[in-house]
Protein backbone atom coordinates (compact mmCIF):
# COMPACT_ATOMS: atom_id res chain seq x y z
CA UNK A 1 0.00 0.00 0.00
CA UNK A 2 1.38 3.39 -1.05
CA UNK A 3 0.09 6.63 0.48
CA UNK A 4 0.71 9.90 -1.37
CA UNK A 5 -0.36 13.47 -0.62
CA UNK A 6 -0.52 15.95 -3.48
CA UNK A 7 -1.82 19.49 -4.03
CA UNK A 8 -5.25 19.59 -5.61
CA UNK A 9 -5.58 20.74 -9.21
CA UNK A 10 -8.50 22.54 -10.88
CA UNK A 11 -9.59 19.27 -12.50
CA UNK A 12 -10.03 17.85 -8.96
CA UNK A 13 -12.95 20.20 -8.30
CA UNK A 14 -15.68 17.52 -8.80
CA UNK A 15 -13.74 15.20 -6.46
CA UNK A 16 -13.39 17.96 -3.86
CA UNK A 17 -17.11 18.66 -4.13
CA UNK A 18 -17.86 14.96 -3.56
CA UNK A 19 -15.56 14.84 -0.53
CA UNK A 20 -17.33 17.91 0.91
CA UNK A 21 -20.71 16.22 0.45
CA UNK A 22 -19.43 12.95 1.94
CA UNK A 23 -18.03 14.82 4.96
CA UNK A 24 -21.31 16.67 5.44
CA UNK A 25 -23.20 13.37 5.36
CA UNK A 26 -20.85 11.91 8.00
CA UNK A 27 -21.27 14.99 10.19
CA UNK A 28 -25.06 14.91 9.78
CA UNK A 29 -24.88 18.34 8.14
CA UNK A 30 -25.81 17.56 4.52
CA UNK A 31 -28.61 20.13 4.77
CA UNK A 32 -25.95 22.84 5.33
CA UNK A 33 -24.07 22.26 2.05
CA UNK A 34 -24.93 24.95 -0.47
CA UNK A 35 -21.68 25.87 -2.23
CA UNK A 36 -21.63 26.82 -5.90
CA UNK A 37 -18.98 24.64 -7.64
CA UNK A 38 -17.86 27.46 -9.95
CA UNK A 39 -17.42 29.89 -7.07
CA UNK A 40 -15.64 27.22 -5.01
CA UNK A 41 -13.26 26.73 -7.92
CA UNK A 42 -12.52 30.46 -8.07
CA UNK A 43 -11.79 30.54 -4.33
CA UNK A 44 -9.49 27.52 -4.53
CA UNK A 45 -7.80 27.98 -7.90
CA UNK A 46 -8.43 31.57 -8.99
CA UNK A 47 -5.91 34.42 -9.10
CA UNK A 48 -6.21 35.05 -5.33
CA UNK A 49 -6.92 31.67 -3.67
CA UNK A 50 -8.64 31.85 -0.29
CA UNK A 51 -7.91 28.24 0.68
CA UNK A 52 -5.84 25.26 -0.42
CA UNK A 53 -6.60 21.57 -0.78
CA UNK A 54 -4.42 18.49 -0.66
CA UNK A 55 -5.62 15.13 -1.91
CA UNK A 56 -4.69 11.90 -0.15
CA UNK A 57 -4.23 8.87 -2.37
CA UNK A 58 -3.79 5.21 -1.63
CA UNK A 59 -2.25 3.24 -4.47
CA UNK A 60 -3.05 6.11 -6.85
CA UNK A 61 -6.74 6.36 -5.88
CA UNK A 62 -8.04 9.51 -4.17
CA UNK A 63 -9.36 8.46 -0.76
CA UNK A 64 -9.37 11.71 1.23
CA UNK A 65 -8.70 15.41 1.33
CA UNK A 66 -7.82 18.31 3.58
CA UNK A 67 -8.94 21.89 2.94
CA UNK A 68 -7.03 24.57 4.84
CA UNK A 69 -6.09 28.24 4.90
CA UNK A 70 -3.84 30.60 6.80
CA UNK A 71 -4.93 32.46 9.89
CA UNK A 72 -2.81 34.70 12.10
CA UNK A 73 -1.87 34.81 15.77
CA UNK A 74 -1.25 38.31 17.07
CA UNK A 75 0.16 36.86 20.30
CA UNK A 76 2.73 34.83 18.37
CA UNK A 77 3.15 37.43 15.63
CA UNK A 78 3.08 34.60 13.11
CA UNK A 79 0.66 32.91 10.73
CA UNK A 80 -0.98 29.59 11.43
CA UNK A 81 -2.73 26.94 9.40
CA UNK A 82 -6.41 26.35 10.04
CA UNK A 83 -7.79 23.00 8.87
CA UNK A 84 -11.35 23.58 7.70
CA UNK A 85 -12.11 20.06 6.50
CA UNK A 86 -10.48 16.65 6.76
CA UNK A 87 -12.16 13.60 5.28
CA UNK A 88 -11.07 10.05 4.59
CA UNK A 89 -13.46 7.66 2.88
CA UNK A 90 -14.77 5.00 5.29
CA UNK A 91 -13.08 2.14 3.42
CA UNK A 92 -9.69 3.89 3.82
CA UNK A 93 -9.99 4.68 7.52
CA UNK A 94 -7.34 2.96 9.59
CA UNK A 95 -4.92 2.96 6.64
CA UNK A 96 -2.83 5.83 7.97
CA UNK A 97 -4.12 8.29 5.38
CA UNK A 98 -5.69 10.65 7.94
CA UNK A 99 -2.46 10.81 9.90
CA UNK A 100 -0.51 11.32 6.65
CA UNK A 101 -2.74 14.26 5.68
CA UNK A 102 -2.32 15.86 9.11
CA UNK A 103 1.44 15.22 9.12
CA UNK A 104 1.69 16.82 5.68
CA UNK A 105 -0.08 19.95 6.95
CA UNK A 106 2.05 20.04 10.11
CA UNK A 107 5.20 19.93 7.96
CA UNK A 108 3.75 22.62 5.70
CA UNK A 109 3.02 24.79 8.75
CA UNK A 110 6.64 24.55 9.89
CA UNK A 111 7.95 25.13 6.37
CA UNK A 112 5.83 28.30 6.13
CA UNK A 113 6.94 29.61 9.53
CA UNK A 114 3.60 29.04 11.22
CA UNK A 115 3.23 29.00 15.00
CA UNK A 116 0.10 26.84 15.05
CA UNK A 117 -1.94 24.22 13.27
CA UNK A 118 -5.50 24.10 14.52
CA UNK A 119 -9.01 22.93 13.71
CA UNK A 120 -12.43 22.35 15.21
CA UNK A 121 -14.00 18.96 15.83
CA UNK A 122 -17.64 18.25 16.62
CA UNK A 123 -17.99 17.39 20.30
CA UNK A 124 -19.88 14.15 19.54
CA UNK A 125 -17.16 12.84 17.22
CA UNK A 126 -15.32 10.74 19.80
CA UNK A 127 -13.38 8.65 17.25
CA UNK A 128 -11.88 11.82 15.75
CA UNK A 129 -11.22 13.39 19.16
CA UNK A 130 -9.40 10.26 20.31
CA UNK A 131 -7.40 10.14 17.07
CA UNK A 132 -6.36 13.80 17.41
CA UNK A 133 -5.37 13.35 21.06
CA UNK A 134 -3.12 10.41 20.11
CA UNK A 135 -1.34 12.76 17.71
CA UNK A 136 -0.68 15.21 20.54
CA UNK A 137 -3.46 17.70 19.79
CA UNK A 138 -5.13 19.26 22.80
CA UNK A 139 -8.65 20.64 23.11
CA UNK A 140 -9.04 24.36 23.66
CA UNK A 141 -11.94 24.01 26.10
CA UNK A 142 -11.55 27.53 27.44
CA UNK A 143 -12.64 29.02 24.09
CA UNK A 144 -16.17 29.34 22.73
CA UNK A 145 -16.67 29.52 18.97
CA UNK A 146 -18.73 32.52 17.90
CA UNK A 147 -20.36 32.97 14.49
CA UNK A 148 -22.28 35.62 12.59
CA UNK A 149 -24.07 34.54 9.43
CA UNK A 150 -27.23 35.18 7.49
CA UNK A 151 -29.43 38.02 8.74
CA UNK A 152 -27.24 38.71 11.79
CA UNK A 153 -24.19 39.16 9.57
CA UNK A 154 -26.10 41.49 7.24
CA UNK A 155 -27.48 43.47 10.18
CA UNK A 156 -24.05 44.08 11.70
CA UNK A 157 -22.56 44.92 8.28
CA UNK A 158 -25.30 47.52 7.83
CA UNK A 159 -23.92 49.21 10.94
CA UNK A 160 -20.73 49.97 9.00
CA UNK A 161 -22.65 52.52 6.95
CA UNK A 162 -23.42 54.50 10.11
CA UNK A 163 -19.78 54.75 11.21
CA UNK A 164 -18.23 58.06 10.28
CA UNK A 165 -14.91 57.83 8.52
Query: Considering 68, 82, 87, 132, which one is annotated as catalytic?
Result: 132
**Closest by alpha carbon to 63, among 21, 98, 25?**
98
Report how far residue 92's alpha carbon sits from residue 90's, in angstroms, rounded to the nearest whole number.
5
Q: How far is CA 73 from CA 63, 80, 116, 144, in A?
A: 32, 7, 8, 17
CB 78 within 8 A of CB 113: yes
Q: Has 26 been annotated as catalytic? A: no
Residue 56 has a CB neighbour count (10 Å cut-off) of 27
Spatial separation of the C-alpha atoms in residues 105 and 81, rounded to whole Å = 8
Return phi, psi of residue 57, to 5°: -120, 145
- Residues serving a catalytic function are 132
Amino acid sequence: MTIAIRPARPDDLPLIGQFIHDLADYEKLAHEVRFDPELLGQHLFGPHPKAEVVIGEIDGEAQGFALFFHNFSTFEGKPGIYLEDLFVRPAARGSGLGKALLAHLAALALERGCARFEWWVLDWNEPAIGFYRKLGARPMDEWTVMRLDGAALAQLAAEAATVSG
